[in-house]
Chain A
Amino acid sequence: MADVPDALRGEDIVKRFGAVTALDGVSLTLKQGEILGVLGDNGAGKSTLIKILTGFHQQTSGRLFVGGEETMLRSVDHARALGIECVYQDLALANSLSIYHNMFLNREIIHRGPFRLLNNRAMRSRAAECLEEIGVHVPSVDLPVEQLSGGQRQAIAVARAVNSKAKILLLDEPLAAMGAREAGLIIDLILRLKEKGGLSIVMIMHNYAQTLDIADRVMLMQRGRVTYQRDAASTSVAELMDIVRREYRAMRTSGR
């Protein structure tokens, strides 16, 4: 019996864009406190899945459960209100704005009063606290994010999501276009967040080895479907590669 409801559960989710079926009946489960790695080629539907889980798109059919309750995520704001936060590949950072403004983007702290002015001082100190807490070091939260390295920018984007009391964190290729050293720092950050507790994480990934390193469970998506799900401990890069290779062969022989 499930005493703790799953953080997130999707049943038979279908998403069509006109004639294109991006998701063709995807079911997934994200347990409380775990890291789920989602693998798959370009066009497998990973990004579409993420965008449904963030409320950016709405599924054509299928059911979604957030913390055990069935929900239709109407908008990004709605998903956020339920504690779902996403770090997109483009990071959604505004380069010319300071780190602390970025960390509070669209949930700024404002002074009480009729003019609703920004409380920059509160945002600045809270941003610094939050970064300190999760071990992200920057020279100053006043720096515009354009002066940061790729890894630092990723860390700021993750920190922003965490700062908002997220319960479910969606990471879209958090290690893309990153050198080994920077990737290592982000992996450490993700694992630290997991240890702190209270956070369940879905990661979209490209690199099989890295995924098996970080994730508790992996899920393979191919052409809009989930074709494989396993505990990370009970599978291997070779096994995952084998499934993908078989799929390629099948595609080639069937001429699709």
Chain B
Amino acid sequence: MSSVTDSKKLERRPGLWSRSIVRSSEIRILAVALILSAYFEVVNHDFLLTGASLQNLSQFIAPVAIIAFGEIMLMIGGEIDLSAGMVFAFAPFIMHFAHEAGVPAWIALLLGVLAAGIVGLVNGAVTVYLRIPSFVTTLGTLFFVNGFTLTISRGTPVPPPEGDTFPAIMGAWGYSEIIWAISIAVVMHVLLRHTRWGLHTIASGANSLGASEAGIHVKRLKLGNFIIAALLAGFTGILEAFRISSIDPQAGGNQIMFLAVAAAVIGGTPLAGGSGTIIGGLIGAAVLGILNDGFTLIGINAFTFNMILGAAILAAMIFNIHVVRLARKGDL
């Protein structure tokens, strides 16, 4: 019986080995995170094993990670949301004004997140239906939302809603942010790997025309992922507002958005789309946090940190593209 086989060719390729390399971008980046932690722990004994620095680290990681999860969903589809950092600053103000108007704190919070979602809806609709590249769409909303936030706040910080348990749950307690980040990571991981939504997002990123020929509603998926990204960015802004107990119109901004994109890239999600990993994004954020905290404790200043961050992003990207490509071809 004849059959469509190419077993000879495949046997020559180290299929299993290359597969484990390709599939284990999470494990690779986890190894990097562990090595960095060990290094900083040796150099500076206060790095991990004191409560204060661990808490500090977790508070750096959490917001970057949560925003990164949204960016990862978009990047898989070949899109990006540059406005995330501005939505981050915008959502808490909506919460504040709603609360001022007499709405209970938790409903005000939901309204803030909802307002962020509307920005995401606009980002998605303009990108998908008016066929504007998302880089341009979200560059526009970046400035617009920033200006809008500065206008409604008159450039002045305000306090978040007060209370005991509610602010504590929503970011004020030291570890609440990282618990949120990990919980959201689990939900997003399941969404990406174990639902049709996630599978179709990957398929449309890998082959957009093919996915639509298979009957997948590519536009609807993209629109949804823009909304998810904005919801997460807005929610993160609210968590941070409760943590520092101040709603600052200058909070977040492009710095946190680019850190989130960096976390996604370092974690193994290529900007070109077609694949991505939520867990990788979480560990990528951890690597950034470890680098930041570690070098701060050693006493390296912020300027130098940016150089190291830049080098880390480049190294991660070069490694991901070339080593993985070679592994896939079987040349390694």
- Chain A binding surface SS class: loop
Interface size, B (range): 20 to 34
Digit string of B1-38 for contact with A (CB within 8 Å is 1, else 0)? Answer: 11111110110010100010010000000000000000
Cross-chain contact of A146 among B3, B4, B210, B328 (Cβ < 8 A): B328
Contact check, A94 vs B213: say whether CB atoms are below 8 A apart.
no
Q: Which of B100-108, B199-207, B232-240 contacts A (4 or more CB under 8 A)?
A: B199-207
State how many angstroms separate the Cβ of A165 from the closest Cβ of chain B. Answer: 15
A15 to B314, CA, bound (A): 51
A88 to B208, CA, bound (A): 13
Residues of A within 8 A of B215 (CB): 75-77, 80, 106
Contact check, B9 vs A149: say whether CB atoms are below 8 A apart.
yes
A118 to B191, CA, bound (A): 10
Q: Which residue of B lies closest to A188 (CB)?
A: B2
State how many angstroms separate the Cβ of A16 from the closest Cβ of chain B. Answer: 22
B151 within 8 A of A: no
- List of 8 A-B pairs having minimum Cβ-Cβ separation, nearest first: A92-B210, A94-B203, A94-B206, A155-B4, A137-B5, A76-B215, A96-B275, A92-B213
Contact check, B213 vs A86: say whether CB atoms are below 8 A apart.
yes
Binding site for B on A (CB under 8 A): 54, 56, 75-77, 80, 86, 88, 90-97, 101, 105-106, 108, 110, 115-118, 120, 135-139, 143-144, 146-149, 151-152, 155, 182, 184-186, 188-189
20 A-B interface contacts by CB (under 8 A):
A76-B215, A80-B215, A90-B207, A92-B207, A93-B207, A94-B207, A94-B210, A96-B275, A106-B200, A106-B214, A108-B196, A115-B190, A115-B195, A118-B199, A135-B2, A139-B7, A144-B22, A146-B328, A152-B4, A188-B4
Q: Which residue of B lies closest to A86 (CB)?
A: B213
Q: Which residue of A lies closest to B216 (CB)?
A: A106
A54 to B215, CA, bound (A): 10
A116 to B195, CA, bound (A): 7
Residues of B within 8 A of A188 (CB): 2, 4
Residues of B within 8 A of A92 (CB): 207, 209-211, 213-214
Contact check, B216 vs A95: say whether CB atoms are below 8 A apart.
no
Residues of A within 8 A of B216 (CB): 105-106
Contact check, A118 vs B194: say whether CB atoms are below 8 A apart.
yes
A110 to B194, CA, bound (A): 9
A95 to B209, CA, bound (A): 13
Digit string of B107-140 for contact with A (CB within 8 Å is 1, else 0)? Answer: 0000000000000000000000000000000000
B274 within 8 A of A: yes
Contact check, B15 vs A147: say whether CB atoms are below 8 A apart.
yes
Cross-chain contact of A136 among B4, B15, B211 (Cβ < 8 A): B4
Q: Which residue of B lies closest to A131 (CB)?
A: B4
Residues of B within 8 A of A152 (CB): 4-6
Residues of B within 8 A of A116 (CB): 195-196
Q: Which residue of A lies closest to B210 (CB)?
A: A92
Known contacts A108-B199, A118-B199, A143-B15, A88 near B2 by CB under 8 Å: no
A168 to B199, CA, bound (A): 27
A96 to B203, CA, bound (A): 8
State how many angstroms separate the Cβ of A104 from the closest Cβ of chain B. Answer: 9
Contact check, A96 vs B4: say whether CB atoms are below 8 A apart.
no
Contact check, A90 vs B9: say whether CB atoms are below 8 A apart.
no
A185 to B190, CA, bound (A): 39
State how many angstroms separate the Cβ of A157 from the closest Cβ of chain B. Answer: 9
Q: Which residue of B lies closest to A187 (CB)?
A: B2
A112 to B199, CA, bound (A): 18
Residues of B within 8 A of A143 (CB): 15, 19
